[in-house]
Chains A and B, each alone.
Chain A
């Protein structure tokens, strides 16, 4: 099976075995257990649990907030990566290290800090709340923490690609009479697109599953500010394991579909770019 065309690289068989075994234990088995559990419901029970008005409101909020946050992350992540790669300034390495902080910080801490800053007696809140900007205990607050958590995904995917872009393509574009905007729009951006798609997908997926920080910044009111993971938790508290799994399955299906769409967009984009 493997012998036909020998790869010059050693270690394919053990490498593959570890990869597949690892994925099976850590990824496939838990996912299959989840889906299997939801099968203990009949189709109509599944639908009643996973597609109630309240659950639908929670999906709209969860997917919506994650998408908005990921879009913001793409815009700012590109800017940050640009600044970090293209300019040299004191403290650049420090800034570069700080970008990863959201990866390391427990999300509950992020949630607590954000809600403390934006409540009406907090550092930001005391100026923003009088202007009608509720950065804590609102839907806006949910987006805000998700932006924070998703940002490093975009920066870290765009950064290596940006630093590998040679300056001479830009010089060539400029010498052929392209304006700076045209150079950015038609030369740089297309080559960054795959990284931007990936960054978006990662930030988006991160936002869908987020629970720890959001319960601290959201008001958790059903139909208004209740995210799907919160609804899952609430079902578990009723000892309703099956219904909780049903909602989780919908969430999972939604995120897999979104990720596949993005992958498809990315590969199509790559074909055109060539």
Chain B
């Protein structure tokens, strides 16, 4: 009996090898949630209902919910029925989900390199950066500090971070956009003050020695710092810092360092998907809406820095003037920054290889 059952098994196993080596199995996309549903009744409108999927990074949930509500309401007035679904997660995983088949109409990711990865895979056309105003940047952002009430360790500048006994919470640059930007900001702060690359390397190495927990994404770090009470300072997105401080009801404070990185979360239409789903018009309208005064006002309200100069000026009180240096301060481009600092065996890996 035993032999015969093996005889049944073997050919089937061979067949399975034949099928299995064929190609990659599609991985399941990140969880999507419907955040804004326009009602289906278009009142005799001219166009069929369109559903867009916006794949974004981790801490933008609140922002997109507001933007989507406003946009779908506007479209409805114009007689168009558009509904928008949102998906959030670490910027890199989100890009990967789209590459693996998540049918995003637009991507609004944290890092230029994640969006450009889609171009490399042929999902987005060359020159995507010029498709929308301000190099496809409806807003910019930066990395700031959150400290405990009363700033007991007196942390004001980047140089203060490596003081004795200070613990820093920031997510892992390998897996998080927030993590990458915090690293680049720390590195650039040394160059800004006239330091050399070597000085920057020493400073950043010391800084990461004082990081007790490397969470995988921005929200994880927020929880570690705000709820678990780990660390003295949290390096995070400006918008996330405001949210965190508001939630903490007086237990936490914001600190704006003298200078920080200019973060550029680009937006792009995923050409291959919108052509297939025939949703290009709606997707482009959606992204163009971000640049309207209404869109820019919502962006400013959530503490992302609007790229429209008038709206930025009108909200100047929310955005203290800190010197925002571009990525070219630390590398020749976002792509170069990715290779130089975060690739396998590059600067970030060396920090840990050196002090294992």
Contact = CB atoms under 8 A, between A and B. Distances in A.
Given A29-B20, A237-B92, A53 B356 contact: yes
A239 B117 contact: yes
Contact of A32 (B16, B211, B213, B352): B16
Interface in B336-356: 342-344, 349, 352-353, 356
A16 B5 contact: yes
A233 interface: yes
Interface string B1-17: 10011011100110111
Contacts of A136: 228
B334 to A, nearest CB: 15
B19 A215 contact: no
Contacts, number: 107
A116 B227 contact: yes
Interface in A88-145: 115-116, 119-122, 136-137
A239 B100 CA distance: 11
Contacts of A24: 12-13, 15-16
A33 interface: yes
Interface in B284-342: 342
Interface string A5-29: 1010000000010001100100011
Interface string B72-106: 00000000000000000010110010000000000
Interface in A202-242: 215-216, 219-224, 230, 233-241
Given A28-B16, A116-B227, A54 B352 contact: yes
A1 interface: yes
Contacts of B175: 233-234, 237
A231 B96 CA distance: 17
A241 B117 CA distance: 14
A73 interface: no
A239 B96 contact: yes
Interface residues of A, number: 46
A57 interface: yes
B281 interface: no
A131 to B, nearest CB: 18
A221 B5 contact: no
B212 interface: yes
Contact of B230 (A2, A28, A137, A222): A137
B172 to A, nearest CB: 6
Contacts of B220: 215-216
Q: How large is the interface on B (under 10, 10 to 19, 20 to 34, 35 or more residues)?
A: 35 or more
Contacts of B19: 29
Contact of A220 (B21, B92, B213, B228): B213
B9 A57 contact: no
A245 to B, nearest CB: 10
A24 to B, nearest CB: 5
Contacts of A83: none
Q: Which of B16, B172, B174, B215 has the most chain A CB within a 10 Å cutoff?
A: B16
B25 A243 contact: no
A36 B172 contact: no
A221 B214 contact: yes
A216 B12 CA distance: 41
Contacts of A254: none
Contacts of A215: 215-216, 220
B344 A243 contact: yes
A251 to B, nearest CB: 18
B7 A1 contact: yes
B83 to A, nearest CB: 29
B227 to A, nearest CB: 7
A20 B349 contact: no
B44 interface: no
Nearest to A112: B223
B194 interface: no
A183 to B, nearest CB: 38
Contact of A137 (B13, B20, B117, B213): B213
B24 interface: yes
B174 A238 contact: yes
Interface string A53-69: 11001000000000000
A137 to B, nearest CB: 6
Given A1-B4, A1-B7, A237-B90, A119 B229 contact: yes
A156 interface: no
Nearest to B121: A239
Contacts of A137: 212-213, 230
B21 A33 contact: yes
A235 B345 CA distance: 12
Interface in B45-90: 90
A234 B21 CA distance: 24
B216 A20 contact: no
23 contacts: A28-B13, A28-B17, A29-B19, A29-B25, A31-B20, A36-B20, A53-B353, A54-B349, A54-B352, A54-B353, A120-B229, A215-B215, A215-B220, A216-B220, A219-B213, A220-B215, A222-B352, A223-B356, A234-B174, A236-B93, A237-B175, A239-B92, A239-B117
Given A5-B1, A220-B215, A234-B172, 13 more contacts: A28-B16, A30-B25, A32-B20, A53-B356, A57-B356, A115-B228, A136-B228, A215-B220, A223-B353, A223-B356, A237-B96, A237-B174, A238-B344
